[in-house]
């Protein structure tokens, strides 16, 4: 009986830890959420790829690997009115809704979501989109 109780407790702790990894907590007020852009083996990814922020938060994309990466948004997969907000917030754009190409390890690109409409924002890395380097930001009201 004691073994069964210990096994059940271990499973509960494991499930709680797994849930914590799957849904990253919202960053502390004023602290940007950091998203790593990296290659692991033959996989290119954002980590975390899917997360939730509040209107006004800042997302900081960090090129961990040094391979060319950028942040681009799907025009048809962002809320109405979001393109203007993002284009103002995205400095040194290559094109509308496309951040600059980052080629150096630890290079950082910050995007403020001040004034951004609530909703989901699908994003991707232009050179690695076909390889699955995509994600989704959910923006909630403050």
pLDDT digits 0-9 by tens, 97-108: 999 999 999 999
Contacts of 102 (CB under 8 A, 6+ apart): 37, 61, 63, 68, 69, 70, 108, 109
Q: pLDDT tens for residues 6-20? A: 343 443 334 333 333
Phi, psi (degrees; rounded to nearest 5) at 58: -115, 135
User: Considering the domain boundaries, does residue 20 fall inside one?
Assistant: no
CB atoms within 10 A of CB 105: 12
The whole-number average pLDDT for the span 117-128 is 98
Lowest mean per-residue pLDDT among 29-33, 77-81, 89-93: 29-33
User: Considering the domain boundaries, does residue 18 fall inside one?
Assistant: no
The whole-number average pLDDT for the span 27-32 is 67
Contact predicate 66/105, CB 8 Å = yes
- Please give the pLDDT value at position 28: 54
Active site residues: 69, 125, 128, 133
* 27: three-class secondary structure by DSSP: coil
Question: 47: exposed, middle or buried (C-beta count within 10 Å: 0-12, 13-18, 19+)?
Answer: middle
User: Considering the domain boundaries, does residue 100 fall inside one?
Assistant: yes
pLDDT at 29 over 80: no
Structural domains in the chain (count): 1
Higher-scoring residue by pLDDT: 133, 22: 133
- Please give the pLDDT value at position 65: 86
pLDDT at 141 over 50: yes
User: Considering the domain boundaries, does residue 4 fall inside one?
Assistant: no
The parent domain of residue 40 ranges over 30-140
The CATH number of residue 64's host domain is 2.60.40.420
Contacts of 141 (CB under 8 A, 6+ apart): 54, 55, 118
Q: Is the dihedral of CA 138, 68, 129, 91 positive or negative?
A: positive
């Amino acid at each position: 009986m004691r073994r069964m109780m210990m096994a059940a407790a271990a499973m509960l702790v494991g499930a709680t830890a797994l849930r914590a990894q799957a849904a990253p907590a919202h960053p502390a007020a004023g602290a940007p959420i950091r998203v790593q852009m990296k290659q692991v083996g033959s996989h290119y990814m954002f980590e975390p790829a899917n997360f939730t922020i509040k209107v006004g938060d800042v997302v900081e994309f960090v090129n961990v690997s040094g391979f060319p990466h950028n942040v681009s948004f799907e025009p048809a997969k962002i809320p109405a009115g979001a393109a203007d907000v993002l284009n103002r917030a995205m400095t040194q754009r290559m094109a509308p809704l496309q951040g600059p190409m980052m080629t150096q390890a630890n290079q950082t690109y910050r995007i403020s979501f001040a004034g951004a409409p609530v909703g989901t924002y699908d994003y991707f890395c232009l050179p690695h989109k076909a390889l699955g380097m995509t994600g989704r930001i959910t923006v909630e009201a403050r």
